Structure 1
């Protein structure tokens, strides 16, 4: 039995911040932002759009492919930064799409979540014959959690906004979902977080005054010293293992769908897999949208000359730290 991605769809808010705009916010020269950080521009949402809204807008075109009443499961896999705390995006998505027969839930593993969501959807369809169609929908508004006055975290200026969705089924689709490999190193659990707003440090006048409601890096130099030696090797490992478990070799990869990173890390990952830049989707006009990046890349893969049987790998990593890859085969 094959589990397949029937179709993907994306949504980006209309407002754009360019590298020139970001130079004004960060003090980093425009050309450095483009060449070193690999970012020409990114989309940012205004106050009228939030994570669930963008997930819904991304998913709506897929309702032309499947009757909303034939969707059995909706999984929200997007950013944990959303409209409210202790609140589910998934139920709003179910309601707004009119998918009245679907049950809905959320997965949250920050930026690593799309390859994991593909595995979960495949496993559910494989295990439960009553499930016919699963919708993966995600949104991201993480451009809003950057404090450009915080030197520990303002380098995350590639955080951007958007929505991305994928329809998963056993029917004939665009890509077959093969195997996955996931790796977690929990020693990084405390390095990156929004300090205030949770149970450890509830919101207060003091937390607002101290600017503790934006994303922060506890000790950038210490994290870099520990993360740099393992990050790219772990990326390479999860890709190679996901491909191997799928019955293929690394040299069979025709297209890589990674999250957006600075250009040097992107090139190191390609070097570790013996791939060229033409064999990957690099989101230098969109930036990093939490877990959405590989799904966005998959949507853009139509721009590549993929043939039936070609091997594609979605790969990402999320703070905490988890690296994840899922192998796909073009149908």
Structure 2
């Protein structure tokens, strides 16, 4: 077996992406009425012009399915070996796996399905899991990553501790990871978890600690809450951006590259100041990143959606080094590198 054949068999790349957004849009002006924060502050400081929100008939699984269907228009559903849900943990039901429903509705009858959950940090991790599965199991050829988000509905605008999360939005995203895909190859990754933040952000009621009751509903405990925003800020601000930069640098190094080689950064949606701090720390310009100011933050979906938009807008060219980077409460920072568009045989260390 010659070297090129071996490389083709071991190459693992992203063959396609898909997105879905519900039609209803909420603008900065509408959010200003809900939050009491001036619309220009929402647009300029928080970096949100508008976002998509779903109605009561559409759930996270439905949006994941819609994004997956965008890919399967061109791909035989029966060729999918594994379906992995990587989206929001706020799904149709609290104790329930959406993956079997998604597999069934997409007609991926030959696939087994399961869920990954690490809140907003999950897409870079899902890319690594898919790559590692394809590396370890020669019987797998195609893995469909799908995610949905309906987190706009767990914001309590009456709660001053958490209403700053108004950038939470709704949508769906999907990526097809394929063996033998010599272009758009998934390279190295890096993840950091600091569990000291495990109790800072959560939906307080509905689990085993505080089961749902009339009282928890009256007390509005089924919305996302921050126990002590000032305390979390004191602890999180010194480490958050440094950890973003650290996982990006390490993921790039694990891919056999340098930070100077980065062509495009695909981060989660954050306020403008954090976005610019990340860029400055990596020596990147604003045009070297995708900023979702018309879509907001959709849990783990943001980097996948950014990749789809970059491809759609012609911002990717052969050989570009692309970094997906995100972070999720708990707190985990995650980055995975993709070499776009050409036959690249760099072996991550």
What does residue 335 of structure 2 align with?
325
What does residue 266 of structure 1 align with?
275
Question: Secondary structure of 2:207's match?
Answer: coil
Tell me the CA shift for residue 85 of structure 1: 1.4
What does residue 312 of structure 1 align with?
322
**TM-score of the aligned structures, taking structure 2 as reference length:** 0.94
What does residue 5 of structure 2 align with?
none
What does residue 20 of structure 1 align with?
29
What does residue 264 of structure 2 align with?
255
Query: Is residue 2:255 matched to residue 1:246?
Result: yes
Distance in 1 separating the partners of 2:126 and 2:120? 11
4+ residue segments displaced more than 3 Å: 171-174
Alignment counterpart, residue 303 of structure 2, candidates 294, 304, 312: 294
Alignment counterpart, residue 220 of structure 1, candidates 222, 226, 229: 229
Across the aligned residues of Structure 1 and Structure 2, the Cα RMSD in angstroms comes to 0.8
| Aligned partners of 2:11 and 2:182 also within 8 Å | no
Distance in 2 separating the partners of 1:127 and 1:121? 10
What does residue 9 of structure 1 align with?
18
**Structure 1 alignment gaps of length 5 or more:** none
Query: Is residue 2:180 matched to residue 1:147?
Result: no
Alignment counterpart, residue 118 of structure 1, candidates 127, 145, 167: 127
Question: Secondary structure of 2:123's match?
Answer: helix
Question: Secondary structure of 1:101's match?
Answer: coil
| Aligned partners of 1:4 and 1:175 also within 8 Å | yes
**Structure 2 alignment gaps of length 5 or more:** 1-9, 342-349
Tell me the CA shift for residue 149 of structure 1: 0.3
**TM-score of the aligned structures, taking structure 1 as reference length:** 0.99
Alignment counterpart, residue 75 of structure 2, candidates 51, 66, 82: 66
What does residue 41 of structure 2 align with?
32
Tell me the CA shift for residue 174 of structure 1: 5.1
Distance in 2 separating the partners of 1:2 and 1:286? 33
> Which has the higher mean CA deviation after the structures are superposed, 14-23 or 64-73?
64-73
Q: How does 1:19-168 map to 2 (within 5 A)?
A: 19-168=28-177
Distance in 2 separating the partners of 1:184 and 1:261? 19
Tell me the CA shift for residue 170 of structure 1: 1.5
| Aligned partners of 1:6 and 1:173 also within 8 Å | no
| Structure 1 residues 174 and 282, CA gap change in structure 2 (3 angstroms) | farther
Q: Deviations over 1:112-136 (max 9, x none)?
A: 0000000000000000000010000
Distance in 2 separating the partners of 1:151 and 1:293? 25
> Which has the higher mean CA deviation after the structures are superposed, 171-180 or 237-246?
171-180
Tell me the CA shift for residue 35 of structure 1: 0.2
> Which has the higher mean CA deviation after the structures are superposed, 287-296 or 299-308?
299-308
